[in-house]
Amino acid sequence: MINTDVLVIGAGPTGLFCAHQLGIIGLKCEIVDNLDKIGGQCIELYPDKPIYDIPAIPECTGEELTKNLIEQIKPFNFNFHLKDRVQKIKNQNNKWIVNTFKGKEFITPNIVIAGGVGSFEPRKFPTKNCEKFEEKTVLYSIKDKSIFKGKKVVIFGGGDSALDWAIELSKNSKVTLIHRRDEFRGAPSSVKKIKELEKEKKIDVLTKYSINDVKGSEKIEIVEIKHEEGQIKTINADYVLGFFGLIMQLGPILEWGLNIDKKTIPVNTENFETNHKGIFAIGDICTYPGKLKLILSGFHEGALAARGCFKYARPNEKYRFEFTTTSKTVKGRIGVKE
């Protein structure tokens, strides 16, 4: 069990800056994020797109912003728990017991939800019958490629993941690549490679088709696909892989008894606390009159939520406001020597 002052859910810009503010006021935190890297939407959705509305930074990309935020919290040595997701929370004697998907347990007086529009999850097939084969013969990510050796693998999708895996698995498996349109959006070199492999008859490529149904008893046997003009075709398959990118879902947060208003969590604007004591929500996931979904608003919200956390983390101390320019204590926390 990890004991901490604050558990921050979400390692996007808002979560990172809130962590900075927690560090500044002398609190410890642990940061959990479902993605495999730090940065949230900035990194996952628009790493290369310039952002023009960060105060005092005329232009920067999502990646640069993330890099600087990470740099800014380095002195605090906070732990990141990536590729993990908070599943369950329980209140016990004014503390929150938090359990993650990967089996970690935290005990903390404060939880700050900086979860953006939710956690990124792979988009799944719309076909109901896929569910019973999921994680066995219908997969949305690959952990062990050796299971495909000598098997018939049907891959859906037109982006880099679909193309890369089609190329890789075509070495030892019979691969069929299916995409809903003629153009592939993957890297030009991968698209070229796919065309070559198709010409050499090392993979089958079917375009303008999407999944219609899957059949099989224990494991998948047949995939039924439908052309955009309506014709149905069937393919024998041992494995079906879907690579349709990531979608954002609130997931387990919905089950924590928080007030939810259209996928967002109402908060007060004094300290961004939710209807649960010790649970705060900041950034895109929170709502209040006048809310703007801007990164700069997330920074402000994080600064105030951090002060809100202080009250529960240090109930016997009085919070003292200090400037980073003048306070020796604060400078000590960020490792600045005078």
Partner 1 sequence: MTKIKYIEHSGKEYEADVVNGLTVMEGAVQNGIPGIDADCGGSMACATCHVYINDDWFSKLPEKEIGEDDMLDQAYEPKKNSRLSCQIIVSEKLEGLVVHLPEKQI
Binding positions for partner 1, rule: CB under 8 A: 41, 45-46, 49, 117, 123, 126, 157-159, 179-181, 183, 185, 210, 228, 244-249, 263, 293
Residue 245, classified by CB atoms within 10 Å of its CB into exposed (0-12), middle (13-18) or buried (19+), is middle
Tell me how far, at minimum, the Cβ of 248 lies from partner 1, in Å.
6
End-to-end CA distance of the chain: 37
Q: Which is nearer to partner 1, 75 or 252 (CB)?
A: 252
Tell me how far, at minimum, the Cβ of 227 lies from partner 1, in Å.
10
| Longest CA–CA separation in the chain, Å | 75
DSSP 320: -
Hey, what amino acid is at 158? G
Q: Which is nearer to partner 1, 30 or 44 (CB)?
A: 44
User: Under 8 Å CB-to-CB from 40, ≥6 apart: which residues?
Assistant: 10, 11, 12, 13, 14, 15, 33, 116
Tell me how far, at minimum, the Cβ of 230 lies from partner 1, in Å.
11
| Inter-residue contact 105 to 2 (CB < 8 Å) | yes
Tell me how far, at minimum, the Cβ of 178 lies from partner 1, in Å.
12
Tell me how far, at minimum, the Cβ of 207 lies from partner 1, in Å.
12
Q: Which is nearer to partner 1, 60 or 97 (CB)?
A: 60
User: Under 8 Å CB-to-CB from 60, ≥6 apart: which residues?
Assistant: 50, 51, 54, 68
Q: Which is nearer to partner 1, 75 or 266 (CB)?
A: 266
Q: Which is nearer to partner 1, 2 or 292 (CB)?
A: 292
Tell me how far, at minimum, the Cβ of 70 lies from partner 1, in Å.
22
Q: Which is nearer to partner 1, 46 or 57 (CB)?
A: 46
Distance CA 51, CA 53 (A): 6
Q: Which is nearer to partner 1, 21 or 119 (CB)?
A: 119
What strands lie across the sheet with 209-215, from one edge to the other?
Answer: 209-215, 222-227, 232-236
| Sequence-distant contacts of 83-87: CB under 8 A, at least 24 apart | 83/33, 83/34, 83/35, 83/36, 84/32, 84/33, 84/34, 85/32, 85/34, 85/119, 85/251, 85/252, 86/7, 86/9, 86/32, 86/252, 86/253, 87/252
Tell me how far, at minimum, the Cβ of 293 lies from partner 1, in Å.
6
